[in-house]
């Protein structure tokens, strides 16, 4: 197999986007990668990330998985994913560690609203789900509802009310986890006061 063919195979095997390190593992150094870029064999998406030239069908979900592997889909995007909101967000709401602020600010490949999360809260309620054929980390239903209370002032009233009502009516809700997360995030009283009214209505 020629290096040109190998490059294409590596990109295809990595879901359409490969990193410099993916090429290096297969014996192609960064100078060769740069040379193939100049020839138009591959295209640079951003520093260290490459795709095939005809890959105009690379989705935002694929870019999120590659460019922001530590990110977790949250708040508005998670609400829409679970059907708790009819509002399709123009930007991806993504939770990232506070330490990642510099790398996040450099991302221009997809529209994003970053939520910077303290380390001790980052993994509470973290799960995975399918977004347009791509498996991405996302906060579960209960963490998403807790976040609605945490970011209450940033959310439109209609979105907040629809979300908590939709959760209360959801057969997949897990009230034990909701209570657990609310305690861990120091939101217990706020969350339970509202949820008790809705659940007893």
- Percent helix, strand, coil in the chain, to 5, is 50, 15, 30
Q: What is the pLDDT of residues 102-146, one digit of tens each?
A: 778 778 778 899 999 999 999 999 999 999 899 999 999 999 999
The pLDDT assigned to 128 comes to 97
Q: How confident is the model at residue 51 (pLDDT cuts 50, 70, 90)?
A: confident
Closest-CA residue to 78 (of 131, 152, 121, 120): 131
* Sequence ranges of the domains in the chain: 3-51, 62-199
The pLDDT assigned to 136 comes to 97
CATH number 3.30.460 is the correct assignment for the domain at 62-199: yes
Statement: the pTM of the whole predicted model exceeds 0.85: no
The answer to whether residue 160 scores a pLDDT higher than 70 is yes
Q: How confident is the model at residue 46 (pLDDT cuts 50, 70, 90)?
A: confident
The answer to whether residue 56 scores a pLDDT higher than 70 is no
Closest-CA residue to 62 (of 112, 122, 110): 110
Where do the H-state alpha helices sit in the chain?
3-13, 20-25, 30-39, 60-67, 75-81, 101-105, 119-122, 141-150, 157-169, 175-184, 188-199
Between CA 133 and CA 164 the distance in angstroms is 27
Q: Average pLDDT in the 40-50 region? A: 83
């Amino acid at each position: 197999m020629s290096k040109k063919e190998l490059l294409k195979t590596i990109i295809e095997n990595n879901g359409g986007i490969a990193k410099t390190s993916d090429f290096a593992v297969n014996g192609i150094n960064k100078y060769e990668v740069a040379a193939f870029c100049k020839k138009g064999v591959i295209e640079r998406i951003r520093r260290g990330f490459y795709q095939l030239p005809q890959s105009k069908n690379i989705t935002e979900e694929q870019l999120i998985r590659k460019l922001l592997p530590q990110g977790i889909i949250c708040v508005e995007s998670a609400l829409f994913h679970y059907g708790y909101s009819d509002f399709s967000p123009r930007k991806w709401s993504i939770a990232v560690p506070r330490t990642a602020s510099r790398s996040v600010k450099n991302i221009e490949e997809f529209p994003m609203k970053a939520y910077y999360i303290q380390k001790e809260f980052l993994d509470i309620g973290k799960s995975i789900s399918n977004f347009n054929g791509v498996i991405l980390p996302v906060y579960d239903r209960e963490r998403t509802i807790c976040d609605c209370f945490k970011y209450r002032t940033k959310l439109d009233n209609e979105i907040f009310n629809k979300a908590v009502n939709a959760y209360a009516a959801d057969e997949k809700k897990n009230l034990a986890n909701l209570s657990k997360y609310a305690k861990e995030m120091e939101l217990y009283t706020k969350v339970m006061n509202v949820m008790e009214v809705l659940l007893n209505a």
